[in-house]
Amino acid sequence: MFKVGDKVRLNSLGVGEKGLGVEGYMPNPCSAILLNGEIVEVSNVVLQAGSSSEYSLHFFGSAYSFSANFFELA
């Protein structure tokens, strides 16, 4: 389980065809940083709506959110 302040990077799923690396994905500034292999700090961890076990990680003051499944600790 991730927590606020953790430093993370994309894992193999995150850069793969089922993650942010999917062909045709329109990157935003945060995903571009992540796909470049950079490490970012988690600003919030939120339970995904309608789920009891899936979490989203928020970055840059919660401006961007991605599935926690796409990340690993750096």
Q: What dihedral do alpha carbons 31, 35, 36, 39 form, nearest 10°?
A: 70
Quickly count: other Cβ atoms within 10 Å of residue 14's Cβ.
21
Q: Model confidence over 5-26: pLDDT tens digits?
A: 999 999 999 999 899 988 888 8
- Contact assessment for residue 26 and residue 55, using Cβ atoms and an 8 Å cutoff: no
Q: What is the pTM of this model?
A: 0.90
- Over 90: is that where the pLDDT of 33 sits? yes
CA nearest to 12, candidates 35, 31, 28, 38: 35
For residue range 54-74, what is the model confidence (pLDDT) as tens digits? 999 999 999 999 999 999 999
